[in-house]
């Protein structure tokens, strides 16, 4: 436990501090809304997914531990990954509609930005400076997002805010480069290498889990549409089997299958060679009715 707590950098302590302050602030100002959000977060279906996710990630950690690649200090980095990238990927699974969306996630893992983020994140200011720096940068970033809602009206404001962020980034980058030149061995250690690889590795290994959740969700939507009273049970079973056979794990095909259950009800009811029909339609482009 001591090693785990000592592994937190000043920046990470600052982030934890402000997160706790914000959470308590939300609870005090709007306790009913916060309780509703917590209730939604732990909905029954999501709870089952969390349990499966826990087993899956535990198996990954155990595998790394058995290969002598895991150490106690990595739990901190794993926790940060889980509360940011992990849960963001999981809770946004409804937005992942095609294999291209998963390719974009892989592409982000391989970008040079992840190297720069690691190098900058490895060099911290004093705790007091970090406690003031984190909310300032966050506040300016939020102002930019809000100002961009009316970009034409706030063009000068957006430009000024971007200049402030650029100036802050320049100062931090200069500080990092000075530290790196003075003491390169401070960065290039086995421990830092493990820390650097942890987030990309877990994101890469977590993609199959999220992919299967997306596939399950799509089949659930398809079968919910089929379970309405416009088909006999025997025909439903035949159609479901055909969707399994020709849809497989292909997200594009499953999107087509979902569209078929919405826009092609008459065909699903009356088509004599239903299996051949589904095979043809599921692998083509299903057009929406106007």
* Residue 92, pLDDT score: 80
> For residues 108 and 130, what is the distance between their CA atoms, to the nearest angstrom?
27
Burial of 56 (0-12, 13-18, 19+ CB in 10 A): middle
Q: Is residue 264 part of a domain?
A: yes
CA distance 115 to 9: 18
The per-residue pLDDT for 115 is: 63
Residue 278 lies in a domain: yes
pLDDT value of residue 290: 37
Closest CA to 91 of 103, 100, 99, 82: 82
Structural domain that includes position 245: 227-282
Return the residue matching tokens 């095979």. Answer: 279
Residue 240 lies in a domain: yes
- The Cα 280–Cα 219 span in angstroms is 19
Residue 30 placed within a domain: no
Report yes or no on 259 lying in a domain.
yes
pLDDT score of 212: 92
Of 281, 286, 274, nearest to 236 by C-alpha is: 274
Residue 213 lies in a domain: no
For residue 13, the model assigns a pLDDT of 79
Residue 251 lies in a domain: yes
Q: In this structure, which long-range contacts are made by residues 45-52, counting pairs with CB atoms below 8 Å and at least 24 apart in sequence?
A: 49/90, 49/213, 52/209
- 230-261 burial code (b ≥16 CB/10 A, e <16): ebeeeebeebbebbeebbeebbebbbbbbbbb
Each residue of 123-142: b (16+ CB within 10 Å) or e? bbbeeeebbebbeeeeeeee
Helix, coil or strand: residue 94: helix
For the chain, what is the domain count?
1
Q: CA–CA distance from 270 to each of 128, 206, 219, 229 (Å)? A: 72, 42, 22, 14
Q: List the pLDDT tens digit at each of the 290 positions of the chain.
A: 566 666 677 777 787 888 888 778 777 777 777 677 777 777 778 889 999 999 999 999 999 999 998 988 888 889 888 887 888 888 787 788 788 888 888 777 766 556 656 666 666 778 788 788 878 877 887 777 777 777 777 788 888 888 888 888 788 778 878 877 888 777 777 877 888 888 889 989 999 999 999 999 999 998 888 877 667 888 888 888 989 888 888 888 998 888 888 888 788 877 778 888 888 888 775 444 43
- Residue 213: predicted pLDDT: 92
Q: What is the pLDDT of residue 54?
A: 94
Residue 189 resides in a domain: no
């Amino acid at each position: 436990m001591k090693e785990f707590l000592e592994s937190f950098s000043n920046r990470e302590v600052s982030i934890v501090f402000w997160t706790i302050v914000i959470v308590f602030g939300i609870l005090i100002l709007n306790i009913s809304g916060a309780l509703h959000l917590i209730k939604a977060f732990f909905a029954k279906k999501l709870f089952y997914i969390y349990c499966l996710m826990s087993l899956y990630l535990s198996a990954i950690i155990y595998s790394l531990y058995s290969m002598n690649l895991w150490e106690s200090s990595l739990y901190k980095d794993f926790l940060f990954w889980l509360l940011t990238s992990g849960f963001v990927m999981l809770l946004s699974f409804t937005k992942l509609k095609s294999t291209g969306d998963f390719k974009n996630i892989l592409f982000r893992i391989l970008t040079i930005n992840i190297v720069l983020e690691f190098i900058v994140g490895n060099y911290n200011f004093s705790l007091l400076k970090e406690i003031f720096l984190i909310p300032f940068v966050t506040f300016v970033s939020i102002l930019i997002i809000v100002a961009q809602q009316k970009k034409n009206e706030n063009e000068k404001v957006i430009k000024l805010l971007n200049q402030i962020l650029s100036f802050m980034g320049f100062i931090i980058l200069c500080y990092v480069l000075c530290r790196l030149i003075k003491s390169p061995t401070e960065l290039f250690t086995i421990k830092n290498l493990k820390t650097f690889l942890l987030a990309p590795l877990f994101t890469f290994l977590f993609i199959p889990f999220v992919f299967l959740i997306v596939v399950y969700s799509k089949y659930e939507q398809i079968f919910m549409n089929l379970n309405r009273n416009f088909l006999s049970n025997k025909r439903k079973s035949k159609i479901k089997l055909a969707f399994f056979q020709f849809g497989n794990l292909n997200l594009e095909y499953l999107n087509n299958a979902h569209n078929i259950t919405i826009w092609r009800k008459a065909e699903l009811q009356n088509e004599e060679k239903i299996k051949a029909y589904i095979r043809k339609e599921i692998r083509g482009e299903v057009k929406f009715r106007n």
